[in-house]
């Protein structure tokens, strides 16, 4: 099974015409339903939905509270390594970029882990560039040996893997997989990934499904909005999430909505996703998939992140550094991208409480003993 046929079908959809044909009553109909189909999602994404945005926001807000309460789960990324063999033209870690390359030793990792754990965070997202030689499955397995002492929940955002490799990491204590398709436009994808293993569109497209099969508890997907036609990417992201939710009801599926940020390297966003666009996508996603996790990173600025709290977001990063060793090492490391919200964990928590939201560090506990010597 693969999401590919659905992806291919919708890549060719004449969105401009579909959006032009959408009417206010299409939007109202979508608003009135409890179970929405792709056609409703399209109506909610169309210009016809803009005059009704406030009404849509109210429903999205109600659904989010119903399903998640007034809570925001906090996590932070930890960059293990920035060695990379890919040439993704939009990425700061692009193999061509002349930046210092480094990878944490287990001793350095322990320092990073301690520094992050001291902020109270329990959810960690570990990241590497795409280098199977440097950041090998063995290396990641050893890293988990260190990290599980400090974090009950660790997600990975690394190169696409085989199902048994994911399963091995699940055994080592990984419980979440984050992997972005970047863009669902196969042609554009080929242009943006001129060299490197990531060039294989389908292998990456099926990676979230392999993660589900391998026993990941949370699978987080997304497209880097702004790379291509963001309307189309948001639509196919939503369909991809629905596909996974339908087939793997035991897995929590969530979606990230990263917007392109300035970074080292020549490629800059081709289409701009305005705040209003971003809000519209988020609301449409919430109505379409009420149980969907929605992650918003520190790519977004503090004010925007506060404004969207009631609109559907369920997870946020805080206390972020996108550089290898950024939490504990001295020096001017180069990050993968620039962040906009530089607030620390404590400050974030205070802001959330001020808005009537509970910051959540940890919301589940495995009742089976994790495989190897856990915390």
Positions touching another protein (CB under 8 A) are 25, 28-35, 53-55, 57-59, 61-62, 246, 249, 274-276, 279, 303, 307, 310-311
Q: What are phi and psi of 127, to 5 degrees?
A: -130, 150
For residues 183 and 280, which CB has a smaller minimum distance to another protein in the complex?
A: 280
CA distance 157 to 27: 36
Residues in a beta bridge with 256: 222, 295
For residues 34 and 368, which CB has a smaller minimum distance to another protein in the complex?
A: 34
Closest approach of another protein to the CB of residue 52, in Å:
10
Structure tokens given for 86: 């890919």
**267 contact partners, CB below 8 Å, separation of at least 6:** 89, 90, 192
Closest approach of another protein to the CB of residue 236, in Å:
21
Closest approach of another protein to the CB of residue 355, in Å:
12
For residues 3 and 189, which CB has a smaller minimum distance to another protein in the complex?
A: 3
For residues 246 and 332, which CB has a smaller minimum distance to another protein in the complex?
A: 246
For residues 8 and 53, which CB has a smaller minimum distance to another protein in the complex?
A: 53
Closest approach of another protein to the CB of residue 325, in Å:
36
Residues in a beta bridge with 103: 81
What is the DSSP secondary-structure string of 274-315? -HHHHHHHHHHHHHH-TT-EEEE-TTS-HHHHHHTGGGT--E
In the Cβ-directed half-sphere of 276, how many Cα atoms lie within 13 Å?
A: 8
Closest approach of another protein to the CB of residue 289, in Å:
12
In the Cβ-directed half-sphere of 17, how many Cα atoms lie within 13 Å?
A: 3
For residues 30 and 172, which CB has a smaller minimum distance to another protein in the complex?
A: 30
Closest approach of another protein to the CB of residue 226, in Å:
17
């Amino acid at each position: 099974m693969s999401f590919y046929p659905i992806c291919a079908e919708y890549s060719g959809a004449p969105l401009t015409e579909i959006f032009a044909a959408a009417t206010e009553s299409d939007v109202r109909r979508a608003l009135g339903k409890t179970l929405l189909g792709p056609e409703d999602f399209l109506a909610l994404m169309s210009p016809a939905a803009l005059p009704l945005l406030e009404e849509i926001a109210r429903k999205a807000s109600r659904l989010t509270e119903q399903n998640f309460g007034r809570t925001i789960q906090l996590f932070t990324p930890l960059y293990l390594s920035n060695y990379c063999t890919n040439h993704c033209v939009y990425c700061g870690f692009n193999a061509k970029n002349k930046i210092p390359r480094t990878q944490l030793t287990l001793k350095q990792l322990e320092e990073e882990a301690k520094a992050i754990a001291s902020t109270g965070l329990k959810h960690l997202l570990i990241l590497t560039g795409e280098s199977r030689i440097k950041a090998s499955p063995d290396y990641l397995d050893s890293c988990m040996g260190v990290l599980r002492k400090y974090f009950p929940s660790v997600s990975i955002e690394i190169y696409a893997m085989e199902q048994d490799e994911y399963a091995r990491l699940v055994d080592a204590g990984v419980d979440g997989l984050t992997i972005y398709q970047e863009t669902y436009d196969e042609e554009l994808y080929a242009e943006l990934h001129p060299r490197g293993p990531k060039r294989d569109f389908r292998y990456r497209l099926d990676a979230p499904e392999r993660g589900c099969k391998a026993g990941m508890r949370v699978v987080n997907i997304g497209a880097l909005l702004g790379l291509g036609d963001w309307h189309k990417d948001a639509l196919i992201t939503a369909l991809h999430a629905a596909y996974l939710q339908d087939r793997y009801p035991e897995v929590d599926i969530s979606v990230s909505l990263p917007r392109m940020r300035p970074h080292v390297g020549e490629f800059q966003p081709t289409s701009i996703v305005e705040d209003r666009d971003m809000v519209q996508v988020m609301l449409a996603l919430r109505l379409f998939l009420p149980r969907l996790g929605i992650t918003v990173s520190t790519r977004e600025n503090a004010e925007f992140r506060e404004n969207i709290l009631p609109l559907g977001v369920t997870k946020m990063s805080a206390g972020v550094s996108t550089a290898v060793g950024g939490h504990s090492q001295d020096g001017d490391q180069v990050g993968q991208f620039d962040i906009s919200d530089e607030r620390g964990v404590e400050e974030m928590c205070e802001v959330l409480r001020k808005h009537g939201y509970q910051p959540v560090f940890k919301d589940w506990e495995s009742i089976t003993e994790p495989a190897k010597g856990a915390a």
